[in-house]
Amino acid sequence: MKKLFAIAWKDAVIRFSTIAELLFFIILPIIFTLIMAGGTPSGEGDPRIRLVVVDQAQTPVSQGILAELEKSTAVWPDVLSLKEAESQFDAREAAVVLILPAGLDLQAIQNGTAEADLRQQPNNLNATVAARAVQTALRRVGSAVNAANMAVKEAEASGTFESETDRQAYFNDALKLAQTAQAETPERVTVIEGATPDPTEYDPRANQSTGQMITWVFIPLFGISALFAYERQQGTLRRILTTPTTKATYLFGTIAGQVAVAMVQMTILVLFGIFVMKLGWGREPLALFVIMLASALAAASIGVTMGTFVKSEGQASGLSTMFGMVMALLGGCWYPLEMFPPVVQNLVKVLPTTWAMEGMLDLVLRGRGLIDILPEAGVLLGFAAVFFTVGVWRFRYE
């Protein structure tokens, strides 16, 4: 026990020998969480997509379109001048711009010449969703006119109008009826949110808090490989041969020390999530401890195995950062797995980051408890057992 503590303490001292380590230990994870969470809507803000609208028409029709867009659940209209809108669009600060041109009025709709322009950034999901919302708003505004036109056609099918004035009067009356009917239209769709065992308020920032925590804990734990390479280069590993210390004791001590440091790091980031980002990390402390420990053990064991393959500290440092980033990306730590193609969603189940992410999201996002995260914790401990065994098997002092 004393040996384990001594090895763990020695590793902690080596790791924090420079103040710069704090940069990667706590400062960068917090900066990244804030920046990346800035890219997702907060629970308090308007989660709808900003739709830049240029209203050059200034007619009841264009006002009607704006009113429909205000009611949309997908977009919120931000009315700007053409110059501002074009400037933002060209600078790619606006995903989509709707231009309601001069002359967009009732007469134009009746004549079938009414048009609106939608400019969207290519391959942009927000632009795609906004385009659909705009289509719906235009259809709602134009449908009364379409209905009045249909009424005129039906009337013409059963007899002609005496004059163009009569025809127009008929159209105007039908339009009023259509507008009344439209206003009285009942809601035809009801939205019900799916039931989770303990429903929680969905907050996309929870994804970033969790994802960045895993990223910044996994990378240094993979970096255990650099620790081995460093000791090997310094010749200190060889010296351990002269002491009655087994490989397993040495490796276990190294893992225990780094896992303890990782637990401290995760605790600080969890506290940041609770007190600054107001996330529900604190609901199930025991379950959180279990999944954090299982994740750290899995990552540390992979670091041990990596350490038996790499030759230099520089190589280990580069590979641990690269593997850490790639595993975080593919494990859904940066972008929700929901965004991935279905095949990839299944493929990434071979990564520990995927299981760590799922387990932690179960707690912070889905309000689940210890029983629910046991499968994820079990898989992570499986990773830990396999890689620790490979690490012990392959480990050489020289």
Partner 1 sequence: MLKTFLIGIKDVRLAFRDRAALTFMLAAPFVLTLGLGLVTGRFSGNSGSGISDIPVAIVNLDDGQLGQALVDAFNSPELADLTEPTFPSDPEAARRLIDEDQAAAAVIIPAGFTQSIIPQASDFESAQPEVVQIEVYTNPERPTSAGIIKAIVDEFISRVEEGRVGGEVSILQMLVSGRITPEQAEDAGNAMSQRLQDEPMTNEAAITLNSSTADGQAVEFDALAYIAPGMALMFLMYTVSYGGRSILAERTQGTLPRLLVSPTSSAQILGGKIFGIFLTGAAQMLILIGASSLIFQLKWGDPLGVVVLVLAAVFGATGWGMFITATARTTAQVANVGSAMMLIFGALGGSFVSLEQMPVFVQAISKITPNAWALNGFTTLGLGGTLADLGTPITALLIMGASLFAVSVYLFGKKDLAQK
Site for partner 1 in 199-228 (CB under 8 A): 199, 202, 204
133 vs 304, which CB is nearer to partner 1?
Answer: 133
Q: Look at the alpha carbons of 85, 88, 90, 93 in this order and tell me if their dihedral is positive or negative.
A: negative
Please state the closest distance from residue 186 (CB atom) to partner 1, in A.
Answer: 4
From CA 86, how far away is CA 308, in angstroms rounded?
Answer: 56
| 318 vs 393, beta carbon nearer partner 1 | 318
User: Hey, which residues between 338 and 377 contact partner 1 (CB under 8 A)?
Assistant: 338-344, 365-366
CA dihedral 126, 131, 137, 143 (to 10 degrees): -160
Instruction: Tell which positions 11-50 bind partner 1, by CB under 8 A.
Output: 18, 20, 23-24, 27-28, 31-32, 35-36, 38-40
- Residue 165 contacts partner 1 per CB under 8 A: no
Scored b (16 or more CB within 10 A) or e, 109-136 reads: bbeeebebeebbeeeeebbebbbebbeb
Considering only residues 1, 157, 241, 286, which one is a binding residue for partner 1 as defined by CB under 8 A? 157
* 303 phi and psi angles, rounded to 5 deg: -60, -40
How does strand 49-55 pair with strand 75-79? parallel
Minimum CB distance to partner 1, residue 50 (Å): 9
Q: Closest separation between CB of residue 128 and partner 1, Å? A: 6
The binder of partner 1 chosen from 1, 83, 162, 188 (CB under 8 A): 188
Question: How does DSSP assign 51-65, residue by residue?
Answer: EEEEE-S-SHHHHHH
Stretch that binds partner 1, among 176-184, 246-254, 267-275, 382-390 (CB under 8 A): 176-184
**Residue 60 found at the interface with partner 1 (CB under 8 A):** no
Residue 137 CB, shortest distance to partner 1, in Å, is: 9
Closest approach, Cβ 15 to partner 1, in A, equals: 13
Among residue numbers 82 through 141, which ones bind partner 1 (CB under 8 A)?
89-95, 104, 109, 112, 114-126, 128-129, 131-136, 138-141
Dihedral angle at the C-alpha atoms of 84, 89, 94, 97, nearest 10 degrees? 80
Q: Which residues of 247-275 are buried (b: 16+ CB within 10 A; e: fewer)?
A: eeebbbbbbbbbbbbbbebbeebbebbee
Taking CB under 8 A as the binding criterion, the range among 234-242, 243-251, 316-324, 368-376 that sits at the site for partner 1 is: 316-324
CB of 95 to partner 1, least distance (A): 6
The residue written with tokens 């990552």 in the block is: 299
| Residue closer to partner 1, measured from CB, 6 or 339 | 339
Q: Single out the residue of 288, 264, 256 nearest to residue 361, CA to CA.
A: 288
Choices 4-12, 240-248, 324-332, 372-380; region in contact with partner 1 by CB under 8 A: 324-332
Tokens encoding 379: 């898989």
Helix H or strand E segment including 77: strand 75-79
Smallest separation, CB 308 to partner 1 (Å): 17
Minimum CB–partner distance for residue 84 and partner 1 (Å): 13
